[in-house]
Amino acid sequence: MNKRIVSILFGLIAGGVMAHALTIDFESGEKKNYTFLNPAYASLTTEGALSGKQSLKLDTRASSSVWNGSFATAEGVLKADTDYVIRFTCKLLSAEKDSYVHAIVRPLDVSDHTMDVGRFDVVDIGVVKHVKLKFRTKKDKDTYALQLHPKNKTVALIDDIVIIEGTGEEFTAATAGAKPYSGPVEVATGSAAFTIDLPMPAKQTAASVADFGASTDSPDNVNAFNDAIAHCASNGVGKLVVPKGVYRFTNNNPVKFSKMTDFEFDGQGSEFIWLKTRGSLIEVKECERILFRNFFIDWDWAQDPIGSIIKVTAVATDGASIDAEFPDLTKFPRRDMRIAILEALDPATMSVGHENGYSIGFEFYKGRADTPPAKYEWLSDNSFRLFATDSGKKARFANDVKPGKLFRVRHYVYDMVGLVMSDNKHLTLSNVTVYSCPSHAFLSSGEQHHWQMLKTRIIPRPGTKRPVTCSADHHHIARSKGYLLMDGCEFSFGGDDCLNVHDTTGFAFKSGEKTLTTKNMDPGLLREGDLAEFRNDDYSPTGYTGKFIKRTGENKGRNGVYELTFEDPVPEQKGTGFILFNKRYGSRNIIVRNSYFHDNKARGLLLLANDITIESNRFFHNEAGAIKIETGYTFNVWSEGYGASNIVIRNNVFENVNPIGAFVNEKQPVIYMSVYLKSDPSVEKTMFPVLNTILVEKNSFINNPGVIAYVCSAGNVVIRDNTIRNIVPRNENMPYRGAVGTSHASGVTVINNTWVRSPYMNPGLYSETDTTKDIVFEGNSIVDK
Dihedral sign for Cα atoms in the order 630, 634, 638, 639: positive
User: Phi, psi (5° rounding) for residue 370?
Assistant: -80, -10
Dihedral sign for Cα atoms in the order 410, 416, 419, 421: positive
Coil/strand/helix, residue 395: helix
- Report d(CA 274, CA 437) in Å as an integer: 8
Question: Which one-letter DSSP state was computed for residue 210?
Answer: G
118-127, 222-231, 374-383, 715-724 — which is least confidently predicted?
118-127
Question: Which one-letter DSSP state was computed for residue 494?
Answer: -
- Report d(CA 227, CA 212) in Å as an integer: 7
User: Phi, psi (5° rounding) for residue 763?
Assistant: -60, 130
User: Is residue 16 over pLDDT 50?
Assistant: no
- Report d(CA 48, CA 573) in Å as an integer: 24
User: Is residue 33 over pLDDT 80?
Assistant: no
Q: Using one digit for the tens of pLDDT, what is the confidence trace for 295-307?
A: 999 999 999 999 9
Q: How far from chain centre, in Å, is Cα 98?
A: 22
- Report d(CA 543, CA 723) in Å as an integer: 41
Coil/strand/helix, residue 493: coil
Q: Using one digit for the tens of pLDDT, what is the confidence trace for 235-254?
A: 999 999 999 999 999 999 99
User: Is residue 162 over pLDDT 90?
Assistant: no
Residue 212 contacts by C-beta under 8 Å, 6 or more apart in sequence?
224, 225, 227, 228, 231
- Report d(CA 218, CA 40) in Å as an integer: 69
pLDDT for the residue 8: 45
Q: Where is 224: in which H helix or E strand?
A: helix 222-235
Q: Using one digit for the tens of pLDDT, what is the confidence trace for 615-669?
A: 999 999 999 999 999 999 998 899 999 999 999 999 999 999 999 999 988 999 9
pLDDT grade for 557, boundaries at 50, 70 and 90: confident
CA nearest neighbour of 358 among 318, 402, 391: 402
Number of H helices, E strands in the chain: 2, 61
How many Cβ atoms from other residues are within 10 Å of residue 28's Cβ?
8
- Report d(CA 597, CA 499) in Å as an integer: 9
CA torsion 86→88→92→95, rounded to 10°? Answer: -30
How many Cβ atoms from other residues are within 10 Å of residue 718's Cβ?
21
pLDDT above 70 as % of the chain: 95
Q: Using one digit for the tens of pLDDT, what is the confidence trace for 641-655?
A: 999 999 999 999 999
Identity (one letter) of the amino acid at 565?
Answer: T
Q: What is the mean pLDDT of the chain?
A: 92
pLDDT grade for 52, boundaries at 50, 70 and 90: low
pLDDT grade for 2, boundaries at 50, 70 and 90: low
pLDDT for the residue 6: 46
pLDDT for the residue 21: 37
Question: Which one-letter DSSP state was computed for residue 373?
Answer: P
Contact 92, 127 (CB under 8 A): yes
What average pLDDT does the segment 526-533 reach?
A: 97
Contact 551, 516 (CB under 8 A): no
21-25 and 55-59 beta bridge pairing: unpaired
Q: Using one digit for the tens of pLDDT, what is the confidence trace for 485-513?
A: 999 999 999 999 999 999 999 999 999 99
pLDDT above 90 as % of the chain: 78
What average pLDDT does the segment 703-712 reach?
A: 98
